[in-house]
Amino acid sequence: MNMKNSLLITRRQRTNLLINLGLILVTLFAMLPIATTVLVSFKKEQDVTRKPPVIFPCDTPTQAFDWSACRWSVEGYDRVLAPEPASNWLGFELTGNMIRTYIPNTLLYATTTSFLVVILAGLSGYAFSRYRFRGHRFLMISILAITGVPLLTNLLALYQMGVRLRKANIPLYDDRFFIIIVYMGFFLPLSVWIAKGFFDAIPRELEEAALIDGCSPLGALWRVTMPLAAPGLMAVFLLTFVGVWNEFIAGYLLISRNDHKNVMFGLYDFLGQNIVNLQVLAAACILIALPMVILFLFTRRTFFKAMVEGAIKG
Amino acid sequence: MRQLLSRYKGGGQTQTSLPFWLILPTIIVLLAIQVYPALYTAWLSLQEREPTGWTFVGVENYKRLFGTSLFSESIGHTIVFLVGYTSVTLALGFIIALLLNGNVRLSGFYITLLFIPWIIADILVGLIFRLMVVPDYGLLSGILQNPKIIPPNGLSVLTAVRPTPWFGNFAFPPAPAMDFLILASAWRALPFVTLLLLAAMQTVPSEIIESSRIDGANGRQVIRHIMIPLMLPTMVVALFSLTLSGMNGVGMIFSLTGGGPGTSTEVLSYMLYSIGWDRLQFGRAAALALMIAVVNWLLISGTLRVTRLEDRNP
Amino acid sequence: MKRKWSLIIFIALLALVLVACGGAAEEPDFVTWYQYDQDNEDPASDERVGNEYLRNTIPQFNEAFAGKWTWVNQPKAFDRMTTELVAAVQAGGEVPDLFELSNTQDVIDFYRNGTAQDLMEWAQAQSWFSDLDPNGIEACKGPDGKLYCIPISQRPQLVYVWKDRYPDGYPSTPEEFLARAAELKAEGLYAITFFGSTDKGGEGLTRAIWTTISSFGGSLDDGQGNMLLNTPENTAAIEFLREIVANEYAPEIAFAGGFQEEEAFKDASAGSFPTGLFGYRYVNPLTAPDGTAYDKGSAEDMLDAIAAGDVYLTSFLSVEGQKPGCGIDVAGFVIPVGAKNVEAAHDYINWIMSPEQNATWVQGPGGGFPVLKTTQTDETFQTPFYKEAAEAVGSSACRPWYGSLQRPNEAQEVVMNAIYKLIKEDPTADIAEVLTQTQEEYNAGN
């Protein structure tokens, strides 16, 4: 690396400038759609439906742009969140379905699914990484091949399965269990491959040492390998979490009760037969995407690792 | 790595049934959520719904599918979409990775910002991009629809008709809406590809670059004759992975264009959605799903072949 | 000791649960699927009218049938409830006792998939049956002549017009229309906006496109279940639409989908808007050509504009020898196959047919005219809006667009694709050729 740098040193400044310029351009390209959405979400309806559109709602009859005349508004957010005065410590509560129902539901689906996926993928990833058995290769390939089945028609069979389960009157059964199991089925295949990759990278010698010290195989797995694999499993958790949060079509077709809706289906409330409140739609988009963006900002290294691992192995 | 694996092969066979139990839960979930629905789809593709119940119709569903002009049109759209999507994403991803590989200050900052699009759900990306080009009201429409900027009449992305095809009925050049769909899809997939290529780029040994520099190669030659060949397997993996996601994704089309204007963004996956869930022709949808599944399996086996190749190389 | 106590507590809890369940079993649930949600109190919701209707009437019903039924409504997504019902019946799963039908062509889907019960025998025995408009009954019949729904409300298509854009009345012939359109264009205005995109599975066909075709005397089928598009009437209608599009008498947003064509009517940049009667609920807020704002942001806006005379309702234009055409849709009830509580559904329908409930339903979820003839004279329907609408519909010949076609969803999509191609995408394409190809492809699946 040092050598490379010294070779380039003569042209370094010029190159650096160019690279920076390029990166700024690219970053602008990446940010532009998000920025316009944020902009729209803070406008009033009368400014959203103007022809021709104005970029900033800051024009006056006499001037094209005047900071003091800007008509920013939180109309859109107000619709989505529906704050109402209340007697709690905040002085208000958010009564929008998005906050009251859809986000809690999605958190439930995403957390439970990711947790179960981590456990199952961790166990089978470990088995695939540490043991050679008959059918090893066949199973690994089959698990991968499963991802090739288009989801859309599977949903018909899954829908019917959900209907039958509901009819079977299993004690304590809830539609939400089914949704979670379905999501597990969607995200397991890739997770198994990723988990196996992470286990492969942990030296087996450590486990052997633990075995010699008198641990059982499961004990060795639990006490030695799992802690080492934790970052990898965390990556699986996060990928699944974001995957479930962002999933639309399965939730849209399988969830049959309003109080079970997830956020992406909930977005549909603002996309009904009268989708023109662009500022509301933009506000809803921002509110739904924001938690994931924040999560990403705090855990980006784990994500990067998982993405590369997932792509190469899967 | 190899040594480890070969050691396993010896000891593995005599192991207990532990791996079986570790893998079992995963297998059960996958059988229920993925394998059974896939088999059901296969059965369904040979059935047609009559008022009395399901009736076996053999390959009739396939024949009808082939008999419609929309099917062949969709294949054309799918090809155009996939070629555009993968080439734009790979090319831009490579350039961005090169820029980031230049080791500039703030690269962590750039990476973080650049990667935000990847975390946003496809259905939201579709909406965000739609908001920009809603005819008359979108912020981008204000520019594009201006006759002074795009003569003679300005361009309304979501409603502009496709140009006359160059080759018979094959949908090339694509409609502006298709170009825009490609742009939106690429926008979301770019972070993933950039990361993958960046990771591969960083494994290119600097000694090789250095020695070729000494031999008098310029930057372009280094990229062309050293970096690209060494990164080829990763690029192929990225290509397959993009094709796979492009082949099956429906969320973005769902919220961005709805297959329109006319049929100009109707790709196979969206056609599958509309036949199955709009028209309720489940048998025909199942037939289409199986055809898509075959393509997916080809892509997956291609990826497998390349990744194994890569395993052997270093 | 500890064990004994926990056992006692467990038994007590169990008894409590059993008592609780037993209590609920006394009044069996009557389950409905509406696209409206009684729990959605958002005053700006698109569906506030229907939501509010349910919020008000569920307690009324439960009071009227106290000790007999408890009405439990499960809200469903408007564009998915038909699919869900079909799939639920196929899977032998839980179905509601009553399904709110808002789109008559669903009847054909229900027939094909064996989803709905035949109600003919029961309905004929009811006192209100003879009072139903025969058109409503006809719309509820499947291709096999069985009665798959009970019609409550009729929703014809008509034209919303800004008075200042058409001060001398709406044109009655294509020629007059094109002449006025050219004048409006010279002022920078559009003569018309309509659902011109292929969005929502080709739904645009059922609206202005069908209104135009039927006003030219055209139709889409041969009466025997085959698609027949290539007729001189249809060709003339398409040529007329081509002229509108080519001369930009309609705004570009008409082709954007997502119901955004409404925008051009809201700000009066387009002078007229052929759509469903029901449309008044969604097209708001409004700004009149003279700047008057109707901006309550609810269905009131359109009603106010009509009462003030800024907007009027009329029938579409037509060619010589033809009455203006229009599509018609019926809203009503379906009892699905496998419904657990058919008796409650019967009670409910009879209750809705009662004079005090009928008008409210038609005004609420129904959004149209009563099918029950006696309700038509109810004072609710004597407002300027309903009177004008009745006049407009009275002077048109309304019929369902799908005629004898048995796969309406598929037909809707392929015909709309073909017409879009002819009027917008490729205005020089040979009309006869495209229409013939479309009908042949469809008929191959018969």
Three-state SS string over A190-236 comes to HHHHHHHHHHHCCCHHHHHHHHHCCCCHHHHHHHHHHHHHHHHHHHH
Classify residue B2: in a domain, yes or no: no
In angstroms, rounded to a whole number, what is the distance separating the alpha carbons of residues A311 and B191?
13
Classify residue B8: in a domain, yes or no: no
Q: Which of A177, C98, C34, A152 is nearest to A168 (CA)?
A: A177
pLDDT band at A276 (very low <50, low <70, confident <90, very high): low
Burial label, B188 (beta-carbon count in 10 A; 0-12, 13-18, 19+)? buried
Strand ranges (E), C235-340: 272-276, 286-287, 293-294, 311-314, 325-326, 328-334
Within 8 A of C90 by CB-CB distance, chain A residues are 160
Structure tokens at A71: 């008509």
Rounded to 10 deg, the angle between the B60-67 and B282-312 helix axes is 90
3-state secondary structure A133-154: CCCHHHHHHHHHHHCCCCHHHH
Do residues B76 and B45 share a domain?
no
CATH value at residue B203: 1.10.3720.10
Number of domains in chain B: 2
Do residues B189 and B243 share a domain?
yes
- The whole-number average pLDDT for the span B114-135 is 91
Do residues B178 and B39 share a domain?
no
Classify residue B14: in a domain, yes or no: no
Residue C30, helix vs strand vs coil: strand
Which CATH number does A103-275+298-313 carry?
1.10.3720.10
Residue B141, helix vs strand vs coil: helix
Domain that holds residue B78: 69-312
Q: Which chains are adjacent to chain B, needing at least 3 Cβ pairs under 8 Å?
A: A, C
In angstroms, rounded to a whole number, what is the distance separating the alpha carbons of residues C438 and C429?
14
Classify residue B103: in a domain, yes or no: yes
- The whole-number average pLDDT for the span B275-279 is 87
- Residue B103 has what pLDDT? 67
Structure-token match 């049959």, residue found: A256
CB contact under 8 A, A36 and B35: no
Burial label, B154 (beta-carbon count in 10 A; 0-12, 13-18, 19+)? middle
- Residue C24 has what pLDDT? 44
The alpha-carbon gap from B227 to the nearest alpha carbon of chain A, in Å, equals: 15
- Residue A200 has what pLDDT? 86
Structure-token match 């003279």, residue found: C290
Do residues B30 and B171 share a domain?
no
C69-94: per-residue pLDDT in tens? Answer: 999 999 988 888 898 899 888 888 78
pLDDT band at A1 (very low <50, low <70, confident <90, very high): very low
Q: Is the pLDDT of residue B271 over 80?
A: yes
The alpha-carbon gap from A232 to the nearest alpha carbon of chain B, in Å, equals: 17
The alpha-carbon gap from C140 to the nearest alpha carbon of chain A, in Å, equals: 24
Within 8 A of A242 by CB-CB distance, chain B residues are 119
CB contact under 8 A, C93 and A79: no
- The whole-number average pLDDT for the span A85-92 is 79
Q: Which of C153, C154, C152, C95 is nearest to C350 (CA)?
A: C152
Q: Is the pLDDT of residue C5 over 60?
A: no
- Residue B313 has what pLDDT? 42
Would you tell me which residues 216-255 of chain A have a C-beta closer than 8 angstroms to some C-beta of chain C?
252-253
Would you tell me which residues 251-280 of chain B have a C-beta closer than 8 angstroms to some C-beta of chain A?
251, 254-255, 269, 272-273, 276-277
Question: How many residues would you count in chain B?
Answer: 314
Which CATH number does C30-154+328-389 carry?
3.40.190.10
The proportion of chain B whose per-residue pLDDT surpasses 70, expressed as a percent, equals 93
Indicate the range of A20-29, B42-51, B194-203, C36-45 predicted with least confidence. C36-45
Quick check: A153 contacting C, CB < 8 Å? no
CB contact under 8 A, C257 and B279: no
CB contact under 8 A, C84 and A79: no
In angstroms, rounded to a whole number, what is the distance separating the alpha carbons of residues C417 and C423?
10
- Residue C122 has what pLDDT? 96
Q: How far is CA C332 from CA A82, B40, C57, C152, C365, in A?
A: 33, 35, 16, 5, 9
Cis peptide before A52 (omega within 30 of 0): yes
In angstroms, rounded to a whole number, what is the distance separating the alpha carbons of residues A175 and A162?
7
CB contact under 8 A, C424 and B134: no
Do residues B50 and B101 share a domain?
no
- Residue B170 has what pLDDT? 81
The structural domains of chain C, with segments of one domain joined by +, span 30-154+328-389, 155-327+397-443
- Residue C70 has what pLDDT? 93
The alpha-carbon gap from C131 to the nearest alpha carbon of chain A, in Å, equals: 33
User: What are the CB-based long-range contacts (under 8 Å, 24+) for A163-166?
Assistant: A163/C87, A163/C88, A163/C91, A163/C92, A163/C93, A163/C94, A164/C91, A164/C92, A164/C93, A166/C93, A166/C94
Amino acid found at B256: L
Q: Which of C426, C403, C430 is nearest to C228 (CA)?
A: C403
- The whole-number average pLDDT for the span B9-24 is 68
- Considering chain C, what is the average pLDDT of its residues? 89
Classify residue B5: in a domain, yes or no: no
Within 8 A of A252 by CB-CB distance, chain C residues are 77, 80
- The whole-number average pLDDT for the span B35-51 is 90
Q: Is the pLDDT of residue B314 over 60?
A: no
Query: Which of B28, B96, B119 to mutate against chain A (most A CBs within 10 Å)?
Result: B119
Q: Is the pLDDT of residue B298 over 70?
A: yes
Indicate the range of A27-41, A264-278, C26-40, C326-340 predicted with least confidence. A264-278
ipTM of this predicted complex?
Answer: 0.87
Do residues B45 and B105 share a domain?
no
Amino acid found at C385: F
> What is the pTM for the complete model shown?
0.89
Within 8 A of C408 by CB-CB distance, chain B residues are none
Q: Which residues pair with C326 in a beta bridge?
A: C398
Q: Is the pLDDT of residue A5 over 60?
A: no
CB A164 within 8 A of CB C91: yes
pLDDT band at A7 (very low <50, low <70, confident <90, very high): low
A285-313: per-residue pLDDT in tens? Answer: 999 999 999 999 888 888 887 777 666 55
In angstroms, rounded to a whole number, what is the distance separating the alpha carbons of residues B43 and A147?
19
pLDDT band at B154 (very low <50, low <70, confident <90, very high): confident
More confident residue, A113 or A209: A113
Q: Is the pLDDT of residue B163 over 90?
A: no
The proportion of chain C whose per-residue pLDDT surpasses 70, expressed as a percent, equals 94
Strand ranges (E), C35-190: 70-75, 98-101, 150-162
Structure tokens at C66: 């106290």
C222-276: per-residue pLDDT in tens? Answer: 999 999 999 999 999 999 999 999 999 999 889 988 888 998 999 999 999 999 9
Q: b/e for A207-237, b at 16 or more Cβ within 10 A? A: beebeeeebebeebbeebbeeebeebbbbbb
Classify residue B292: in a domain, yes or no: yes
CB A256 within 8 A of CB A175: yes
Structure tokens at B78: 């799918």
B contact set with C (CB within 8 A): 49-53, 64, 67-70, 134-137, 145, 156, 158-159, 161-162, 257-264, 274, 277-281
- The whole-number average pLDDT for the span A23-50 is 89
Quick check: B13 contacting A, CB < 8 Å? yes
CB A26 within 8 A of CB B99: yes
Within 8 A of A204 by CB-CB distance, chain B residues are 4, 7
Classify residue B4: in a domain, yes or no: no
Q: What does C215-230 look like in DSSP terms, one character per residue?
A: HTT--SB-SSS-B---
- Identify the DSSP state of B174: P
B109 → chain A, closest CA residue? A27
Q: What does A59-123 look like in DSSP terms, one character per residue?
A: --SS-S--GGG-----HHHHHHH-EEE-SSTTSEEE--HIIIIIHHHHHHHHHHHHHHHHHHHHH
pLDDT band at A38 (very low <50, low <70, confident <90, very high): very high
CB contact under 8 A, A249 and B251: yes
In angstroms, rounded to a whole number, what is the distance separating the alpha carbons of residues B270 and B74?
9
More confident residue, B220 or C387: C387
More confident residue, B16 or C267: C267
Q: Find all residues with CB under 8 Å of A128, minimum gap 6, and list them.
A: A136, A139, A140, A192, A196, A199, B19, B23
More confident residue, A269 or A120: A120
C109 → chain B, closest CA residue? B280
Torsion of CA B214, B215, B220, B225, to 10 degrees: -120
Q: Is the pLDDT of residue A272 over 70?
A: no
- The whole-number average pLDDT for the span A201-218 is 81
Cis peptide before C285 (omega within 30 of 0): yes
The structural domains of chain A, with segments of one domain joined by +, span 2-94, 103-275+298-313
A285 → chain B, closest CA residue? B124
Q: Is the pLDDT of residue A214 over 90?
A: no
Do residues B35 and B105 share a domain?
no
Q: Is the pLDDT of residue C446 over 90?
A: no
A89-142: per-residue pLDDT in tens? Answer: 777 888 888 888 999 999 999 999 999 999 999 999 989 988 888 888 899 889
More confident residue, C197 or A68: C197
- Considering chain A, what is the average pLDDT of its residues? 84
pLDDT band at B210 (very low <50, low <70, confident <90, very high): confident
pLDDT band at B292 (very low <50, low <70, confident <90, very high): very high
- Residue C249 has what pLDDT? 96
In angstroms, rounded to a whole number, what is the distance separating the alpha carbons of residues B118 and B124?
11
- At the topology level, CATH places domain C155-327+397-443 in D-Maltodextrin-Binding Protein; domain 2 (3.40.190)
The alpha-carbon gap from B174 to the nearest alpha carbon of chain A, in Å, equals: 22
The alpha-carbon gap from A191 to the nearest alpha carbon of chain C, in Å, equals: 31
The alpha-carbon gap from B49 to the nearest alpha carbon of chain C, in Å, equals: 6
Would you tell me which residues 36-65 of chain B have a C-beta closer than 8 angstroms to some C-beta of chain A?
36-38, 40-41, 44
CB B115 within 8 A of CB A300: yes
Quick check: B129 contacting A, CB < 8 Å? yes
Do residues B139 and B177 share a domain?
yes
